[in-house]
Amino acid sequence: MLESISGLQLALETVMRAPLMNLQWIDLSFNQLTTIEPELFRFVNLKALYLHGNCIKALATTEKLRKLPKLMSLTMNGNPIEASRIYRVYVIGALPNLRSLDHSTITADEAEVATAWFKAHLDRAKKREEERSFAALEED
């Protein structure tokens, strides 16, 4: 079982030519991955990424996948983040190019609602951060 994807490019070079450019689909499911690692973003043409059945706990890590502009299909089910009640809307809102999440098609209505929800979520987070900064200034 993998705990990290360190060295993935080198391993793939033994079975395919120019994996950074040619890899479009990878299944990293049922491992012990705890985060989405930067090495993954080097595979610029990745369209499908299977990460189900791992140990990813932080919803915010899914936002990193924006660095994969061609990503259309993602699986994250079976990770601890799936237990969050906002899991699906968060991931769809964070990744507006997705067409499928956890082997389920994302409808146009669902994408629209998730995009609006995610924008509001970011606005609320920004406001909370500003309030914390303001409160810290008042204490000084």
CB 26, CB 49: distance < 8 Å: yes
Q: What separation in angstroms does the CA of 125 have from each of 95, 119, 122, 128, 138?
A: 18, 10, 5, 5, 20
Q: Nearest to residue 65, comparing CAs of 123, 56, 127? A: 56
Question: Per the confidence metrics, is the pTM higher than 0.95?
Answer: no
Classify residue 22 as exposed, middle or buried by CB count within 10 Å of its CB (0-12, 13-18, 19+). exposed
Q: 92 Cβ partners below 8 Å, 6+ apart? A: 98, 101, 106, 110, 111, 114, 115, 118
Q: Tell me 128's DSSP state.
A: H
Radius of gyration of the chain (CA): 17
Per-residue pLDDT of the chain (140 residues; tens, 9 = 90+): 888 888 899 999 999 999 999 999 999 999 999 999 999 999 999 999 999 999 999 999 999 999 999 999 999 999 999 999 999 999 999 999 999 999 999 999 999 999 999 999 999 989 988 888 877 777 76
